[in-house]
Amino acid sequence: MNKLQKTILTVGAACTLAVTSFAAGNMISISVDPSVKILVNGTEFQPKDANGNDVMTFIYNGTTYAPLRALAEAYGLEVGYDAARNMATVSEPGKTYDTPAAPVQPSEKYGEGQYKVGKDIPAGTYMLWVSDVKYGGYFVYSSDPNADDIIENDSFATNSIIEVYDGEYLELRRCDAFPIKQAEAPRKQNGAFGEGFYIIGEHIPAGEYKLEITDEKYGGYYCIYNDVRRNDIDSNGSFTGSRYISLSEGQYLKLNRCKIIVD
């Protein structure tokens, strides 16, 4: 049964109280209604802080405010704090969860369009993130502006990684390009990385891993490259169910309709 069963809020005679708060470095004073009470599974609950002192609950502008720690612990949940990300955490006892990586705000972003490398965009390695999750992204880079001589192109559902040289032409559709060192990294979810493009040794450690499909109808596909320009394929294949692969430092891994189990 879900631990969060029922919380009932009851309000007695209304009164107001001045509360001083800090927001974005500024001190503000607000008037609140502190007469609200909390029933947890039918029993009146008095929130307390970590030192056992009573903590006030109140209503402000139609919203009820209650201390996170006290209410979570009333349901048997554990509360923590991630100082590095200034983030409160709530979890079931004994369970651990992957904390989302803190997004890096890139100083450069290149959206849809065609770019001449060395003129409109510097040569280098870029992380591509889709801007249209329904249709996914697409890139092509070529040696001529008409893309008659295509060097590499690909469609992708989440992210991809490319390296372009001076004098080439890069076209982006339904995606944005960020310099790799400034870009947000792919995020692990529930102990696995899903569909995407990964650097081995940076996003995923070298080693042996199990792949599992995420699309029962079409199955999964993987490709291991020895270079980011995709000129040297080490191994690739379509599969159903699951399979194992071995990854070495410096390789690149592409996953379609499958995930890699890393925990």
Kindly state whether residues 218 and 242 are assigned to the same domain.
yes
Three-class SS state of 72: helix
Quote the pLDDT of residue 95. Answer: 67
Q: Tell me, what amino acid is at 134?
A: K
Band of pLDDT at residue 85, cut at 50, 70 and 90: low
**Strands of the 220-225 sheet, one edge to the other:** 196-199, 252-256, 220-225, 233-239
In a domain, 1, yes or no: no
In a domain, 99, yes or no: no
Highest mean pLDDT among 17-31, 92-106, 208-222: 208-222
Q: Is the pLDDT of residue 21 over 50?
A: no
DSSP one-letter code for 121: B
Kindly state whether residues 162 and 211 are assigned to the same domain.
no
Kindly state whether residues 11 and 87 are assigned to the same domain.
yes
- The kind and range of the H/E element at 7 are strand 7-11
Q: Express each pLDDT in 24-71 by its tens digit.
A: 445 666 676 677 778 788 788 788 877 788 887 877 777 878 888 888
Three-class SS state of 70: helix
Task: Between 195 and 16, name the one with better pLDDT.
Answer: 195
Enter the pTM of the model. 0.61
Q: Is the pLDDT of residue 5 over 70?
A: no
Last residue of one domain, picked from the residues 91, 124, 150 = 91
- Short-list 201, 174, 209, CA closest to 185: 201
Q: Calculate the average pLDDT of the chain.
A: 84
Q: Following CA atoms 95, 98, 100, 101 in sequence, which dihedral angle do they give, to the nearest 10 degrees?
A: 140
Kindly state whether residues 121 and 60 are assigned to the same domain.
no
In a domain, 235, yes or no: yes
d(CA 7, CA 45): 10
What are the helix (H) ranges across the chain?
68-74
In a domain, 96, yes or no: no
Last residue of one domain, picked from the residues 126, 145, 179 = 179
How many domains does the chain divide into? Answer: 3
Band of pLDDT at residue 104, cut at 50, 70 and 90: very low
In a domain, 135, yes or no: yes
Looking at the DSSP assignment, which residues form a beta bridge with residue 152?
Answer: 141
Q: Is the pLDDT of residue 197 over 90?
A: yes
In a domain, 228, yes or no: yes
In a domain, 80, yes or no: yes
Kindly state whether residues 66 and 12 are assigned to the same domain.
yes
Last residue of one domain, picked from the residues 56, 91, 126 = 91
Kindly state whether residues 199 and 241 are assigned to the same domain.
yes
Kindly state whether residues 69 and 132 are assigned to the same domain.
no
Burial of 149 (0-12, 13-18, 19+ CB in 10 A): exposed
Percentage of the chain with pLDDT > 70?
A: 79
What is the residue range of 166's domain? 113-179
Q: Express each pLDDT in 127-184 by its tens digit.
A: 999 999 999 999 999 999 999 999 999 999 999 999 999 999 999 999 999 999 999 9
Kindly state whether residues 23 and 87 are assigned to the same domain.
yes
In a domain, 21, yes or no: yes
